[in-house]
Amino acid sequence: MSNNRKADRVQFQRAFPANLLGVDGTWSRACQLKDVSSTGARIEIEGTTEVLRAKEFFLVLSSTGLAFRRCEMVWIDGTTVGIRFLINKPDRKSQRRVAGQ
C-alpha cells in the first residue's frame, strides 16, 4: 500500500486517550489517538460511530478542554476513523479591517 499522505505521521507506542465532541456540544465519545500529523490523525472510537454522520467535530486532547482541534471525518473502517484537521480561515471583513488599520 502506498503512502499518499502530505505530512509525516507520528505513531504512538501506546494510544493517547482523547475525546470527540460535537460542534454543537450535544454529543461526545471517548477515543484513542493512534497516530497524528500536522494535517490529521487516526483514532479508534469507543462506542457507536453513528454520531460521526455530522462529519465535523472537535478532537479534545486535554481533560480541561483547552487543547483541541476542529476536525472532519475523512474515512471510517469499523471503529477506526481517519480525520483531517480544519484550519480556521479569517473572513473577508476581518481581513479588510486588519489591512485598513
pLDDT (tens digit, 9 = 90+) per residue, 8-52? Answer: 777 777 888 999 999 999 999 999 999 999 999 999 998 888 888
Give the residue extent of every domain in the chain: 10-99
Q: Which residues pair with 80 in a beta bridge?
A: 44, 77
Q: For the chain, what percentages of helix, strand and coil (3-state, to nearest 5) are there?
A: 15, 50, 40
| 65 vs 2, residue with greater confidence | 65
Closest CA to 58 of 88, 14, 37: 88
Beta strands in the chain (DSSP E): 10-22, 28-36, 40-45, 56-60, 68-77, 80-85
Q: CATH second-level architecture of 10-99? A: Beta Barrel (2.40)
